[in-house]
Amino acid sequence: MTVSADLPETSVAPPPPVHTHGTPLTNTILYLDGVHVSFDGFRALNQLSLAIAPGEMRAIIGPNGAGKTTMMDCITGKTKPDGGVVMFDGAVDLTQLDEAAIAELGIGRKFQKPTVFETLTVEDNVRLALKGPRSPWSALFGERNRIARERITEVLDIARMTEHRDRLAADLSHGQKQWLEIAMLLAQDPKLLLVDEPVAGMTDSETMETAKLLKKICAQGHAVVVVEHDMLFVRELDCKVTVLHEGSTLAEGSIDAVSVNERVVEVYLGR
C-alpha cells in the first residue's frame, strides 16, 4: 500500500511522537530519556536516561546530591521535569499526570523512614493498604472480606511477617516496620516499586533479609528500583547497578564492573 503525504483536510492528525533520543522504548516498564530538572538554575538532573525492563531489579547508587531522590520524584510526579521523557509501561507519559494518578497506575514508593500506622495491628495496616472499594454496605462485602484476608495472608507470608500479624505496629523493630511497609505496598500489586534506602539503620541480618525479600518480590514479576548507599546490600541484590553523578548516568553494569570503574571510584566509592 502506498501512503500519500497529501492527507485530506478532514483526516485526524496522529499524536506527536514521543521523542526518545534514539533509544528503544519497547519492553520497558520505566523509561527516562534526556530528563532535566533545575532548582534555581542548579541542574539536579542533567540529561538523565534510564531504562528498566518489566520485572527487573535495579540498584541506583551515587554520592550525596547526585540526583537520586529528584529522579524518584520525577517518576512519582512530585517534581515535574523541565524537559525530557518519563514513560511508564512503554505508553504512559508520566510528566502529564499528577501524583495520585501515577500511584493508581501501579507505581509504589517507599521512603527511607517507615510510615506505618503505629496504633494498628500488622494485619490492619495491610488491610488499609489493599486496593479497591471497602464499603461495609456492599452486597459483596463478605466475599470481598475473604479475598482481602487471603491477600493479607499472602503478602505477610512473603514479607515473613505472619507471626507478627496481631501485633501492634508500634511494637515492631525498625526492620520489621520496614518489611511491614513493603508488605503494604505489595498488597497494592504494583508493577513498579521504588524503594529509597530501605536498609538504613538495619542490623546486618535484617539487611540480608531485606535483600531476600526484594528479590522474592522481583521474582514474582514486580519491577523494583532501589536507591541505596550500602554496598554489601547492593551486592546481595545481585542486579544491574546504575551510578548517578551530577544528575546523569556515570556508569551502568554489574556491581563488580562499576566497582572497578575509575570514574566511579573517583567520585563515589573511593571516598
Ligand X SMILES: Nc1ncnc2c1ncn2[C@@H]1O[C@H](COP(=O)(O)OP(=O)(O)OP(=O)(O)O)[C@@H](O)[C@H]1O
Of 24-32, 39-47, 151-159, 198-206, the segment contacting ligand X by CB under 6 A is 39-47
Whole-number minimum distance, CB 37 to ligand X, in Å?
A: 8
- Which residue lies nearer to ligand X by CB, 26 or 64? 64
- Which residue lies nearer to ligand X by CB, 187 or 195? 195
- Which among 252, 256, 222 has a CA at the least distance from the CA of 238? 256
Q: How many residues make contact with ligand X (CB under 6 A)?
A: 11
CA distance 234 to 218: 15
Among 57, 66, 116, 169, contact with ligand X (rule: CB under 6 A): 66
Angle between helices 174-187 and 122-129 (to 10 degrees): 30
Of 23-31, 38-46, 184-192, 215-223, the segment contacting ligand X by CB under 6 A is 38-46
Among 32, 49, 67, 224, contact with ligand X (rule: CB under 6 A): 67
Among 30, 50, 68, 85, contact with ligand X (rule: CB under 6 A): 68
Which phi and psi angles does 48 have, rounded to 5°? -80, 130
DSSP label at 12? Answer: P
- Which residue lies nearer to ligand X by CB, 172 or 227? 227
- Helix and strand counts by DSSP (H, E) for the chain: 9, 10
Q: Does 69 bind ligand X (CB under 6 A)?
A: yes
DSSP label at 4? Answer: P
Which phi and psi angles does 242 have, rounded to 5°? -110, 130
Among 49, 70, 125, 207, contact with ligand X (rule: CB under 6 A): 70
Q: Does 62 bind ligand X (CB under 6 A)?
A: yes
Q: Does 106 bind ligand X (CB under 6 A)?
A: no
Contacts of 50 (CB under 8 A, 6+ apart): 30, 31, 32, 71, 242, 249
CB 194 within 8 A of CB 75: yes
Whole-number minimum distance, CB 265 to ligand X, in Å?
A: 18
Q: Residue numbers of the site for ligand X (CB under 6 A)? A: 39, 42, 44, 62, 64-70
